[in-house]
Structure 1
Amino acid sequence: MEDCIINGYAEDSELLIQSFESINSVELLSHVSDYIPNKGALIDVGAGTGRDAACIASSELKVLAVEPVLEFRTAARQLHLSPNIEWIDDSLPHLSKVCSLNDTFDAALLVSVWQHVKSEDKASCLRTLRSILNVGGKLIISVRSGPGSPKRKCYPTTPQETSELAGHCGFDLLASHEASSLQKTNQKAGVKWTWLVFMAV
């Protein structure tokens, strides 16, 4: 992820932490919860404050939470300390630190991340994610439709474009679900989301 985007999140981190934590993870993930495994290993890319990781993690499902913003990682360790969540400072498109661990995962979760990836980097991201997912593993991506903050640049994309690209990178589309934003500021701006679920083949 570009430094300017990371810095934009860091600059507004105090307000964003409150905003992130105001969202109910069970409600947010309700459209894709059937595809989140109950055991094994899951990687949460762009984990923010750890809100979703804390909701998902259990003694049988370990979560690797990937977050490049220091302020979010610091808040996460205070708000959602858990022996079932491991934190790492890394980001797409390469996830170089994650890949160096030589671990594989049963699912990958990208919530409100995909819009920050440059169009020319999206295929590289998908290939990286495929390389760390087990065959049959699930990739869950929320695709944004609508304006973003000028401090945190968003690159336009569509669910169809994402699905087609994923198909060339070792994934089959399992499900697609449109949903309204749960954040009030995004609601006012007309932001909507499409949740895509892919299977690694």
Structure 2
Amino acid sequence: MSELTSTSGYAEQADDLFVRYEALSAAETHAHWRHLFPEPPARILDIGAGTGRDAAWLVSLGHSVLAVEPVEALRLRAAKVHPEPEIEWLDDKLPDLPDTHARGETFGMVMLNAVWMHLTAEERSTGMARVAALLAPGARLFMSLRHGPIPHGRRMFDVTGEDTIALAAPHGLTAISHVRRNSILSENQARGVEWTALVFEKPS
């Protein structure tokens, strides 16, 4: 069996993920930190954009989105499901995000939803520096970390909010929100899945 990577399991489960993710309202999923989003129009980077559900919702709020997704089975289908011209799709991957950086662009908001816990400690160290450099002055980074049983075929680590805050600090990122919450999905609640929601701000 080949070694699991940060994206293991996603291509194989793409059909199921589209059904599950698209059935869940982005507005409901992100209601807990919506008040911390920038005013539109902002330029937003969605790293690990998956099915494009969140990118499409952000566009509906008046923003434009660079949607980064390394899993081809998700990215190509997402671009068809969410054809909004304000969404630009890019094949790129943490921790280095080389093609994102090559654009020479910074963002008013970066979303890392359900991505960070797939990375090893070394990848998280590299990735934090790379993500911090993509934030414009005064911009915010939104991160969610999953805790609980690891789904079959996936690679995950139990990354704490405290660890992530400590990793972000040397890059000038200050945590302005740190909340541990239950999953909004009943099936995940039954499994004991919880989430840590973090919002960081870069100095102006």
Q: Unpaired runs of 5+ in structure 2? A: none
Report the secondary structure of 1:154's partner residue.
Answer: coil
> Structure 1 stretches (4+) deviating beyond 3 angstroms?
2-5
- Would you say 1:24 and 2:25 are equivalent positions? yes
Q: Paired residue for 1:162?
A: 164
Report the secondary structure of 1:142's partner residue.
Answer: strand
Q: Distance in 1 between matches of 2:16 and 2:50?
A: 13
Cα-to-partner distance string for 1:40-60 (whole Å, 9 max, x where unaligned): 201000000000010011585
Letter in 2 for 1:178: R
Q: Unpaired runs of 5+ in structure 1? A: none
Q: Percent identity?
A: 35
Shift of 1:178: 2.3
Letter in 2 for 1:147: P
Q: 2:98 aligns with which of 96, 99, 102?
A: 96
When structure 1 is superposed on structure 2, of 109-118 and 186-195 the one drifting more is 186-195
Q: Residues 128, 5 of structure 1: CA spacing in aligned structure 2 closer, same or farther, 3 A cutoff?
A: closer
Number of corresponding residues: 200
Please report the TM-score for the alignment, with normalisation by the length of structure 1: 0.93
Q: Distance in 2 between matches of 1:59 and 1:115?
A: 28
For the 8 Å contact 1:47–1:66, the answer to whether it is kept is yes
- Would you say 1:53 and 2:55 are equivalent positions? yes
Q: Distance in 1 between matches of 2:57 and 2:42?
A: 15
Please report the TM-score for the alignment, with normalisation by the length of structure 2: 0.92
Shift of 1:183: 3.4
Report the secondary structure of 2:78's partner residue.
Answer: helix
Q: Paired residue for 1:144?
A: 146
Q: Paired residue for 2:7?
A: 6
Shift of 1:3: 6.9
Q: 2:121 aligns with which of 115, 119, 122?
A: 119
RMSD: 1.7
When structure 1 is superposed on structure 2, of 140-149 and 183-192 the one drifting more is 183-192
Shift of 1:8: 1.4
Cα-to-partner distance string for 1:133-170 (whole Å, 9 max, x where unaligned): 11110000001111221311001110111111111222
For the 8 Å contact 1:45–1:67, the answer to whether it is kept is yes
Q: Distance in 1 between matches of 2:185 and 2:61?
A: 30
